[in-house]
């Protein structure tokens, strides 16, 4: 038998892990009514939408229909536009909004891109329609060799030690983090201790609206939520012990209709390695869907998979919290920009309600 090289062996292991993951391919956190409904489609979409081994490739299309709002109203909509990030390539960005006063790609101060649409009061309601599409090629992420080195953090990385409105670095979060990492001396060991604590102590709560708010101080008490909740706790606790960490917001590419398949995941920075993926929320979703206990081997295997690794059935749309869009929205800063956002006569719409907003997101695998 021919002996596999280390690189070939790593590829084989990643492929096997992805196949196992497809058994628990998930709908997103977006709307409770869709949760778990796309499991069979998700597995088949992964095969049909793969290019390089483990990649997910296809077109994401967002349809906007604001015709239900009466005449004489000013309507503005911002639709997240994916762009190139590590592990993903985005091409063929196209949009069509023939009745809009303004239709342009903008970029906010956090670097997130959006299709900005504006219809003035003179627009006919039936003209308030638009479509955005892009092709995404997302790689399977395999855990890198985790090497830690001494040294100063790059200035752009140090920014991710700062808190946000719902992910503060305050005494409550610091006290919780210090208890969790007690006895750990390296950043790698501290980050892993936080990750393991979340897997062992938090649970997924299907009753939470959307992906959750990610209110870390409240979550340290409730210890339950959805993906933004769970991964925000990871980010907040890491920052509290001086480990840079951040959330990524996107949508799963695992079914034809992905309107409700939004998802959040996390990364922490390890000096000597770079940014490392972590998704304890997907571990806890698998635990819930599988009916597993925390000490079952399946739980342990899933926890190992999402420590440094990610499936490819997701595309990142944005990053950051407390977002001011471009041009600025009339309402307060967005907690995060993972959904289309809209305002009618200056009042914000409920983006957790796509049917009445209204928008629809689809995925066509290649």
- For 227-294, the DSSP string reads HHHHHHHHHHHHHHTT--EEEEEEEE-SSSB-TT-EEEEEEEEETTTEEEEE-HHHHHHHHHHHT--T
> pTM of the full predicted structure?
0.89
- Segment 7-60, tens digit of pLDDT: 344 444 444 444 344 334 456 775 543 333 332 222 222 333 444 679 999 999
Asked if 115 and 327 count as a contact pair (C-beta separation under 8 A), the reply is: no
Residue-wise pLDDT tens digits, 173-218: 999 999 999 999 999 999 999 999 999 999 999 999 999 999 999 9
How many whole angstroms from its chain centre is CA 176? 25
Mean pLDDT of 167-178: 98
Tell me the per-residue pLDDT of 227-270, one tens digit each, with 9 for 90 and over: 999 999 999 999 999 999 999 999 999 999 999 999 999 999 99
Contact partners, residue 27, CB within 8 Å, separation at least 6: 34, 35, 36, 37, 38, 39, 42, 252, 254, 255, 260, 261
Would you say 25 and 289 are in contact if contact means Cβ atoms under 8 Å apart? no
- With a pLDDT cut of 90, the percent of the chain lying above it is 86
- Rg of the chain (C-alpha set): 21
Q: Which of 107, 83, 238 is nearest to 160 (CA)?
A: 238
| Nearest-5° Cα angle at 264, 77 to 328 | 30
pLDDT of 24 reads 44
Please determine, for residue 304, whether its predicted confidence score (pLDDT) is greater than 50.
yes
- Which domains does the chain show, CATH number per domain? 38-140+323-365 (no CATH), 155-310 (3.10.620.30)
Chain segment 63-87, per-residue pLDDT in tens: 999 999 999 999 999 999 999 999 9
CB under 8 Å to 155, separation ≥6 — which residues?
none
DSSP 214-234: --HHHHHHH-EE-HHHHHHHH
In this predicted model, what pLDDT tens digit does every residue of 101-158 receive, in sequence order?
Answer: 999 999 999 999 999 999 999 999 999 999 999 999 999 999 999 999 999 999 999 9
**pLDDT(4) > 80:** no
Q: What is the pLDDT of residue 29?
A: 73
Strand partners, 167: none
Residue 24's nearest CA partner among 9, 57, 56, 46 is 46
Contacts of residue 58, Cβ cutoff 8 Å, sequence gap at least 6: 45, 49, 135, 136, 253, 363, 364, 365, 366
pLDDT at 52: 64
Instruction: Identify the CA nearest to 78 among candidates 314, 331, 313.
Output: 331
Give ∠ CA 314-310-7 in degrees, rounded to 5: 125
């Amino acid at each position: 038998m021919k002996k596999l090289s280390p690189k070939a062996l790593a590829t084989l292991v990643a492929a096997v892990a992805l196949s196992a993951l497809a058994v628990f391919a998930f709908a997103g956190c977006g709307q409770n009514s869709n949760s778990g409904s796309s499991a069979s489609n998700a597995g088949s979409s992964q095969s049909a939408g793969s290019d390089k081994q483990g990649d997910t490739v296809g077109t994401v299309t967002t349809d906007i229909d604001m015709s239900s709002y009466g005449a004489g109203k000013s309507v503005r909509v911002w639709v997240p536009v994916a762009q190139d990030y590590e592990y993903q390539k985005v091409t063929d960005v196209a949009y069509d909004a023939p009745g809009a006063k303004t239709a342009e790609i903008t970029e906010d101060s956090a670097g997130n891109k959006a299709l900005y649409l504006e219809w003035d009061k003179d627009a006919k309601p039936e003209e308030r329609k638009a479509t955005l599409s892009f092709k995404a090629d997302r790689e399977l992420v395999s855990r890198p060799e985790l090497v830690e080195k001494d040294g100063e953090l790059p200035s752009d990385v140090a920014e991710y030690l700062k808190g946000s409105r719902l992910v503060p670095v305050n005494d409550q979060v610091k006290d919780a983090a210090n208890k969790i990492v007690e006895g750990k001396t390296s950043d790698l060991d501290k980050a892993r201790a936080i990750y393991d604590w979340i897997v062992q102590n938090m649970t997924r709560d299907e009753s939470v609206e959307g992906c959750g708010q990610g209110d870390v101080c409240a979550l340290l008490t409730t210890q339950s939520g959805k993906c933004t909740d769970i991964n925000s706790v990871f980010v907040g606790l890491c920052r509290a012990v001086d480990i840079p960490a951040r959330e990524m917001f996107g949508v799963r590419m695992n079914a034809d209709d992905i309107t409700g398949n939004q998802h959040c995941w996390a990364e922490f920075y390890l000096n000597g390695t770079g940014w490392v993926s972590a998704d304890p929320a997907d571990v806890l979703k698998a635990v819930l869907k599988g009916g597993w206990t925390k000490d079952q081997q399946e739980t342990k295997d899933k926890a190992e998979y999402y420590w440094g690794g990610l499936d490819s059935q997701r595309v990142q749309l944005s990053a950051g919290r407390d977002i001011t869009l471009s041009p600025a929205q009339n309402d307060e800063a967005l907690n995060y920009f993972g959904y289309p956002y809209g305002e009618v006569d200056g009042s914000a719409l409920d983006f957790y309600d796509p049917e009445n907003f209204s928008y629809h997101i689809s995925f066509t695998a290649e």
